[in-house]
Structure 1
Amino acid sequence: MSSVETKWRWLLVTAVAPISWGATYYVTRHFLPADAPLWGAALRALPAGLLLLLIARRLPRGAWWGKAVILGILNFGAFFVLVYLAAQLLPTSMAASVMALAPVVLGIIAWPLLGQRPTAAAGVAVLVGVVGAVLLIGAATGGIDPLGAAVSLTALVLSSLGAVLTTRWRDDLPLVATTSWQLIAGGAILLAIAIVVEGPPPAVSVSSATAYAAIAIVATALAFLCWFAGLRHLSASTVGTVGLLNPATGVILGVALAGESLTALQIFGLVLIGAAILLTQRRARRPVRRPAADGPALAVPAGAVRE
């Protein structure tokens, strides 16, 4: 198999992740109960984590017990709850599109925590992306729920912080193993809170059970495996560009299946968000900072731009 064919194969594998994540908004909004976000998040994280643990067959040791809890809350626990709420409060296309700013937010957070100072091009990308997001949210027909917008943006910030901390604490452990620990930690905390706050689990119909299973297995366990595979075989900038399929999928499903519509300004906002991410992806290559002998490896996060 030629190098071009190999690259395309990994591109297709990686694309499974953002496409499934984009579809999650539609599935959550139309097939899962709106009044059980904690149970919805727990039933997504915990089964996926257990499934990945069966694959990894490895338990955390030492400091990773604490790291797994912190990252589990940021990357999966709080994030999944907020994404669940955003999917119920916002149209599918809007909920997915706001998350398109992830590479920009990642670059901002990586500056103080990883010492990766944004370039002038990154500053332009931030400005363009923010303008696009404002147009996308503010120009919606019928108005956008302010709470939904705030929830979606909060989810974006928390997940970006989790991604940067994951990079800061990165070591030679398998990604499947560390991801399973985070999912289990986040899912266990969600389960305990869901029992106290929301009571018994929501009634499950055939359609909702299928939706829960699809999100846990496909949009979480399988998606993260594909995403990590892409990060191992493709450049971060290539993977980040493939990630644009997330909002694109959300918009397509929202318009095609949910009867949603976009105004001209919103379409322009989407174009600006895409341009912002492409600007970020075109940033010049910068060397990875080499840590001290006893320090953690500092690598550029997947959303930040690095060839």
Structure 2
Amino acid sequence: MTLHSNRQIQPASSGRVVGLSAAFVALAALCWGLSGGIGGMLTDRGWDPVVVSFYRGALGLVFVLIWLALRPAGSGLTKGRLWFWSAIAGVGVAGNFGFYFLSIAEGSVAVAATLMYCAPVFVYLVSFVLKLEQPSLYKWLAILMVMVGILLLTGIYNIDDGDVTLLAAGAGLLSGLSYALFIFGFKYAAPHGSPQAILVIAFAVLAVILGLFGDASELVAALATSAWPLFLILGVLGAGLSFILYIVGLNYTAPAVASVVAMVEPVTASLFGVAVLGESLTALQILGMVLILVTVTALSVYSNSRRHPAE
């Protein structure tokens, strides 16, 4: 999961500060990767993906509320545009969490995490339509390479014999598309307020949406289940601590570096799925995964280097 705010990178007083900030970004990506595996454990136990997503976001809301209470300056909560774009971001993150865990439940952590990592491609396609980005041969070739990677990873070309169902593949891609919506919402909300205020509104919208779509009896049962430690860890790693670490880390980390470091997320999720959940990948799936991860990372680095030539 990659996120870029409109904030300029602060001048670092030493290489140690830069290194620590990059470590924050890497740790956030690691947390997101582990959260995918933990979500897989919960869905394997029969928990509804919507319920799992709800508690991930609701516990994240607690963290960002505390962050906002500690750092209330410049929140922008009186601005209508902040609320509008933050609500859009909330719809996006609700879809991202929900479709991500649905893809995990119907397929595997590795496939779901890799498909979600395609979010920057959706951002480019929407940007082309809205004329926010200029298409180029390099960008179209990168998008084509990602599409080939998706075909290899999901086996859609041979769906009757493939290991990945259409529902799992579709949910994985929708999670990436939803995250692209979150990126746009966050980007347009950023000039009007603080990141913590944006995340408070976004996670509150997420809680309302997933609370309405979730099974009421399961939502209540999760509070008293023996699996509550997993829900707690999921919320802390997947939405609470991780978002704060990532945004703080971005203050001193070049976006190009953050794009590369963010690859820790799908790699961690994939390793968790294979090592802990007993998932397996074919040689073609591994090839598709590598193709997607390398191409999306290169595309992000290329884009950020053109926008921030001095970094």
Decide: shared fold, TM above 0.5: yes
- For 1:10 and 1:115, how far apart are their aligned partners in 2? 29
In the alignment, structure 1 residue 72 sits paired with structure 2 residue 93: no
In the alignment, structure 1 residue 93 sits paired with structure 2 residue 110: yes
In the alignment, structure 1 residue 261 sits paired with structure 2 residue 280: yes
Deviation at 1:207, TM superposition (A): 5.0
Deviation at 1:281, TM superposition (A): 3.2
Match of 2:63 in 1: 51
Call closer, same or farther: CA 1:15–1:206 in 2, change over 3 Å. Answer: farther
In the alignment, structure 1 residue 164 sits paired with structure 2 residue 184: yes
Q: Helix, strand or coil for the counterpart of 1:260?
A: coil
Letter in 2 for 1:49: L
CA deviation vs aligned residue, 1:54-111 (integer Å, no higher than 9, x gap): 2212573231333333221112x22221112112111121111212222222222233
- For 1:80 and 1:147, how far apart are their aligned partners in 2? 15
Call closer, same or farther: CA 1:287–1:101 in 2, change over 3 Å. Answer: closer
- For 1:266 and 1:16, how far apart are their aligned partners in 2? 26
Deviation at 1:254, TM superposition (A): 1.5
- Share of identical aligned residues, percent? 22
In the alignment, structure 1 residue 102 sits paired with structure 2 residue 119: yes
- For 1:18 and 1:204, how far apart are their aligned partners in 2? 27
- For 1:169 and 1:306, how far apart are their aligned partners in 2? 25
Q: Helix, strand or coil for the counterpart of 1:170?
A: helix
CA deviation vs aligned residue, 1:269-306 (integer Å, no higher than 9, x gap): 12211221233134264458xxxxxxxxxxxxxxxx99
CA deviation vs aligned residue, 1:207-250 (integer Å, no higher than 9, x gap): 52011111111211111111112222111111111111111011
Q: Helix, strand or coil for the counterpart of 1:10?
A: helix
User: Are 2:107 and 2:165, in contact at CA under 8 Å, matched by a contact in 1?
Assistant: yes
In the alignment, structure 1 residue 231 sits paired with structure 2 residue 250: yes
User: Are 1:104 and 1:122, in contact at CA under 8 Å, matched by a contact in 2?
Assistant: no
Match of 1:10 in 2: 21
Call closer, same or farther: CA 1:55–1:3 in 2, change over 3 Å. Answer: same
Q: Helix, strand or coil for the counterpart of 2:118?
A: helix
Moved over 6 A (4+): none
Q: Helix, strand or coil for the counterpart of 1:283?
A: helix
User: Are 1:82 and 1:154, in contact at CA under 8 Å, matched by a contact in 2?
Assistant: yes
Give 1:29-44 correspondences, 5 Å limit: 29-32=40-43, 33-44=45-56
User: Are 1:109 and 1:161, in contact at CA under 8 Å, matched by a contact in 2?
Assistant: no
RMSD of aligned residue pairs (Cα, Å): 2.7
Deviation at 1:44, TM superposition (A): 1.5
Call closer, same or farther: CA 1:263–1:174 in 2, change over 3 Å. Answer: same
Aligned pairs, number: 289
- For 2:278 and 2:218, how far apart are their aligned partners in 1? 34
Stretches of structure 2 that go unaligned for 5 or more consecutive residues are: 1-11
Match of 1:215 in 2: 234
Stretches of structure 1 that go unaligned for 5 or more consecutive residues are: 289-304
The match for 2:195 among 175, 178, 193 is 175
The match for 1:240 among 245, 256, 259 is 259
Match of 2:100 in 1: 83
CA deviation vs aligned residue, 1:141-181 (integer Å, no higher than 9, x gap): 86112101101101111110220232133215221221121
User: Are 2:99 and 2:175, in contact at CA under 8 Å, matched by a contact in 1?
Assistant: yes
* TM-score normalised according to structure 2 size: 0.83
Letter in 2 for 1:7: V
Call closer, same or farther: CA 1:117–1:180 in 2, change over 3 Å. Answer: same
- For 1:129 and 1:306, how far apart are their aligned partners in 2? 28
User: Are 2:154 and 2:164, in contact at CA under 8 Å, matched by a contact in 1?
Assistant: yes
Letter in 2 for 1:190: L
Call closer, same or farther: CA 1:114–1:209 in 2, change over 3 Å. Answer: farther
Letter in 2 for 1:89: E
Which shows bigger deviation, 66-75 or 146-155? Answer: 66-75
* TM-score normalised according to structure 1 size: 0.84
The match for 2:220 among 158, 176, 201 is 201
- For 1:50 and 1:136, how far apart are their aligned partners in 2? 36
